[in-house]
Amino acid sequence: MPLDDPKIREALDETQETALPRMSFGDHLEELRTRVVRSLLAIVVAVVALLPFHDGVQTIIVQPYKIQWRHNFIEHCATLEREVAAALAAGVQPHKQTLAFNDYCRANKDEILAGTLPRTLNIQNETGFHLPYNLYATGGLEDIMAFMLASLVFALVLASPVVIWQIWAFIGAGLYPKERAMFYRFFPFMVLLMVGGVLFGYFVALPYSLGFLTRLMNPELVSAIFTIGQFLTLEFALTGAMGLVFQLPLVMLALQKIGLVTHMGFVRNWRMTILIIFIVAAVVTPPEPVSMLLMATPMLLLYGLGLVLTRFGRHRDAPVVAVS
């Protein structure tokens, strides 16, 4: 029989799969210890390499706040213009403080938005805009602790090739060739979806959530002040959650591949899936509707993408596993 015969190929694959090396429990622990130590060393080296770049790291992590601040500041300038125009149209002299705020915004708006205006601490007093230009540190250690946390996250990104390789070296040793081939096929898409989710959270979900929260505040009664620690916690929670939920299409494919759910099962249970999506979005976001909708909307689109992918792959559906 020729070597490319499907039966011979399948028999060869089964022979290879049964020839996996056996390791004792102690060998597994020793292998795990080696992989963990190497990963930690890579992370420590990355953290040390980031220490001289304090300002650069801080600039990156506060950028979503700046995006939201600029958007709200533009609205504030437009409101001042409308108030002055309405007073003049009514033949009334605008309030001198409103006029002073409007004149300052007119003269310095471009520099303020570009971040090139000196003495930024005076922006709030000169423009009458209630939201501070900068984040605050309520304690002497809050800024450096926030920087260390941000550096750790950045270090994880820098060291991720080493960390992922060590994780894969530990797990891949116990997988069959077919399973390793499946991982190689899906891993690039996992990375792309993760990066897409993090960027969506960073540039869209977080700024708009902050904007909604600040609009709920009455500046006459409550001053909106965000500390660096609070902001960082919210930022990492939201971007991390977005990175995970963007894996939904691959999770659906994996469930289809192992036979837990078929394409028609996903289609029949679309109402329950939508309900679960909104529950998850409500749990992992701040308690306000904009954040929930900003997370639920891409999840719904990703669910639709998962339906398309499982539709193309349904001819390879595994037999449904019966759960007793």
List pLDDT tens digits, range 66-113.
Answer: 988 998 899 999 999 999 999 999 988 888 999 999 999 999 999 999
Residue type, 46: A
Please report whether residue 9 resides in a domain.
no
| Residue 16 resides in a domain | no
Say whether both 127 and 184 belong to one domain.
no
Q: What is the mean pLDDT of the chain?
A: 80
Q: How many structural domains does the chain have?
A: 2
65 is a domain residue: yes
| 215/167 same-domain check | no
Does one domain contain both 187 and 107? no
Does residue 291 sit in the same domain as residue 262? yes
Mean pLDDT, residues 186-207 taken together: 85
Is 187 in the same domain as 134?
A: no
Judge if 166 and 37 occupy the same domain: yes
* Claim to verify: residue 34 and residue 169 sit in the same structural domain: yes
294 and 205 share a domain?
A: yes
Q: Is residue 110 part of a domain?
A: yes
Report yes or no: 219 and 309 within 8 Å, Cβ to Cβ: no
Q: Do 107 and 93 have their domain in common? A: yes
Confidence of residue 22 (pLDDT cuts 50, 70, 90): low
Q: Are residues 200 and 135 in the same domain?
A: no
pLDDT for position 56: 84
Q: Which residues pair with 227 in a beta bridge?
A: 136
Q: Quick one: what percent of the chain has pLDDT higher than 70?
A: 85
Q: Which residue has the higher pLDDT, 16 or 61?
A: 61
CA–CA distance, 83 with 315 (Å, rounded to integer): 64
Q: What is the pLDDT of residue 284?
A: 67
- My answer on whether 134 and 188 are in the same domain is no
Does 129 map to a domain?
A: yes
**Pick from 234, 65, 39, 53: nearest CA to 135:** 65
> Which domain does 293 fall in, by range?
177-219+227-318
What residue type is assigned to position 161 of the chain? Answer: P
Among 166, 164, 172, 156, which residue's Cα sits nearest to residue 35?
A: 166
With H, G, I as helix, E, B as strand and everything else as coil, classify residue 140. Answer: coil
Residue 205: inside a domain: yes
On whether residue 4 sits in a domain, the answer given is no
pLDDT tens figures, 29-40? 888 888 888 888
Q: Are residues 182 and 166 in the same domain?
A: no
CB-CB contact of 58 with 148 (8 Å): no
